Structure 1
């Protein structure tokens, strides 16, 4: 069936026996990984995780049913994670949902499948599956998501507090989720004991990063200015400030540079290209230098690396800040 975020998170926190498959589809892999981490936490630190992928299920569809029904080697909890799943996994999913027995929950990440595809339809049509679309939210969607997340935790947020969380997370759903959960823990709220979150509470637990700091870190990274990058990373607000907004901003910067480099290679003047992309006047010199320095191959490789870093940051949990800082420093050094 098609799941709301509240329904999905409740099921991940306490996996029901009648749900065999959690299908996470859509391009926002960072939030999908956050949901996987949520299931892993619910299963327990000693739980055994079995990793499969779409290519394996294409050649051996029965493998999914076998792993879902198998007992853990040590007699404890067990779950199956399927990454990079696509339409080739339809046969395996159909077998899982129709099998007589399947005791271990399966979480499947399918970032490239269409919402109208056979894989998603199979999950939506079954009472034994929950399907959820992971897409980066727009401004209105982000506000609704924060409000829903807060309501599920017993939090009453003012419109200003909602926007503050959105700005601090750069609209990233997984970061918004963690910020709301920290607020609820700090204020000891729950649906049966609701409470209000004011600015003091947000100041106490928030991991907001100023927009200017994000811009400085991204500019330093793409310029190869290691000293400026280190200074910017040190000034990030708090040791638990999420690096996801920085990585997202870096991805947008790299995409813009790729578009500008393509236009310049096509014969357009750099000043004309920067005006078309509405580059802030203080960033024009750094942007022009970056367009000249970065080759199309470098930009494509860096974009892929930034997306991979996002996934690694989510998977690393509390150590995500260290993972992100290391990636940014390596990228800046390679540019230099």
Structure 2
């Protein structure tokens, strides 16, 4: 069944036994993952999480239902997560929903799915599934989201602080949450002892992530300039910037170019499309459309998304993983441009 954000978070927080499958789809993958982590919190710190790859479900569709029905080795609660799912997971989800019993809840994150996809239609039509779409918030929505997350941490935003947090995190729900958790710790804030978050506090802890620097790095990657990109990544590293907003902005830019590329390949006039682009980005967009093919864009988007998931995982190599993915994008562009 279709659900909005409030409905699906309430169901996850309650670990509703009536729901076997939570399908979180749409381009805001970070927002979907942040909601998925609520299930782990709801099940408790001892809960076991089983991660399955879409490729596993493609080769063995029954695996998802089997894992959902299996008991934990230690007798604790368990849940299953599938990240980066697409149409290859339809058969597995069909078997899960048709199984005699479910047992353990399943969260499937599908950033590339659309409302018209078979996976979304399957889950929408079944009362044992909940489906929620995640889209990158615009500026106003991101400000409200930052204010809401801050309130959960016991922080009262003032002046421009909500906007600064939203911009610094590039509208990424997960990054905003992590940043506000750190700020709450710094201010010793909690819901029962709220603290005011002002501009002076943000200045003191350096919460701005350098939008201009990130934009230059993204442009260097998409233009196919590894040498120029190396200098920009070094500047971001010295500034102590988080790699997640950079990866998220790069994916958004690649997706925007991919959509335009598809329209042009279908016969649309390139000059008319460029007129819809913000004037400061028109020259860079024109270059990108000359460089990038649809298959190359698909490969680059997949590479950056995998790097983002790996960077968000526990005990990861952080900036190294992000830098490798961004440099890979620049090399793909360089090969396209040769």
What TM-score range do you get, normalising by the shorter chain? 0.7 to 0.9
Query: Do residues 23 (structure 1) and 22 (structure 2) align?
Result: yes
- After TM superposition, the structure 1 stretch with the greater mean CA deviation from structure 2, 75-84 or 1-10, is 1-10
Normalising by structure 2, we get a TM-score of 0.73
Equivalent residue runs for 1:98-177 within 5 Å: 99=101, 102=103, 104-111=104-111, 112=113, 114=115, 117-120=121-124, 122=126, 125=127, 132-177=132-177
SS of residue paired to 1:277: coil
Contiguous gaps of at least 5 residues in structure 2:
none
Q: Distance in 2 between matches of 1:55 and 1:34?
A: 23
- 1:135-187 deviation per Cα after TM superposition (whole angstroms, max 9, x unaligned): 22223322222222122222111251111111111112222222222222222
* Structure 1 residue 295 displacement after superposition: 4.0
Contact 1:31 1:173 (C-alpha < 8 Å) held by counterparts: yes
- 1:251-272 deviation per Cα after TM superposition (whole angstroms, max 9, x unaligned): 34435555379759979788x8
Contact 1:220 1:226 (C-alpha < 8 Å) held by counterparts: yes
Equivalent residue runs for 1:42-61 within 5 Å: 44=45, 47=48, 49-51=50-52, 53=54, 56=57
- After TM superposition, the structure 1 stretch with the greater mean CA deviation from structure 2, 243-252 or 156-165, is 243-252
Normalising by structure 1, we get a TM-score of 0.74
Corresponding residue for residue 309 of structure 1: 307
Contiguous gaps of at least 5 residues in structure 1:
none
Corresponding residue for residue 230 of structure 1: 230
Contact 2:257 2:289 (C-alpha < 8 Å) held by counterparts: yes
Contact 2:79 2:106 (C-alpha < 8 Å) held by counterparts: yes
SS of residue paired to 2:137: coil
SS of residue paired to 1:8: helix
Q: Distance in 1 between matches of 2:20 and 2:268?
A: 51
**Cα distance change of structure 1 residues 53 and 43 upon mapping to structure 2, 3 Å threshold:** farther
**Cα distance change of structure 1 residues 156 and 267 upon mapping to structure 2, 3 Å threshold:** closer
Contact 1:67 1:80 (C-alpha < 8 Å) held by counterparts: yes
- 1:256-312 deviation per Cα after TM superposition (whole angstroms, max 9, x unaligned): 555379759979788x8756634428x83x665554444444334323333333333
* Structure 1 residue 217 displacement after superposition: 0.5
Contact 1:82 1:107 (C-alpha < 8 Å) held by counterparts: yes
- Alignment length (residue pairs): 323
SS of residue paired to 2:82: strand
Contact 1:25 1:131 (C-alpha < 8 Å) held by counterparts: yes
Q: What is the RMSD computed on CA atoms of the aligned residues?
A: 4.3
Q: Distance in 1 between matches of 2:198 and 2:11?
A: 26
Corresponding residue for residue 250 of structure 1: 250
| Counterpart pick for 1:299 among 297, 300, 321 | 297
* Structure 1 residue 26 displacement after superposition: 2.1
Q: Distance in 1 between matches of 2:149 and 2:123?
A: 27
Contact 2:221 2:327 (C-alpha < 8 Å) held by counterparts: yes
Q: Distance in 2 between matches of 1:161 and 1:302?
A: 34
Contact 2:124 2:130 (C-alpha < 8 Å) held by counterparts: no
Corresponding residue for residue 210 of structure 1: 210
**Cα distance change of structure 1 residues 5 and 174 upon mapping to structure 2, 3 Å threshold:** farther
SS of residue paired to 1:235: helix
**Cα distance change of structure 1 residues 7 and 297 upon mapping to structure 2, 3 Å threshold:** closer
* Structure 1 residue 40 displacement after superposition: 5.0
Corresponding residue for residue 329 of structure 2: 331
Corresponding residue for residue 80 of structure 2: 80
Q: Distance in 2 between matches of 1:207 and 1:304?
A: 29
Q: Distance in 1 between matches of 2:23 and 2:255?
A: 25
SS of residue paired to 1:109: strand
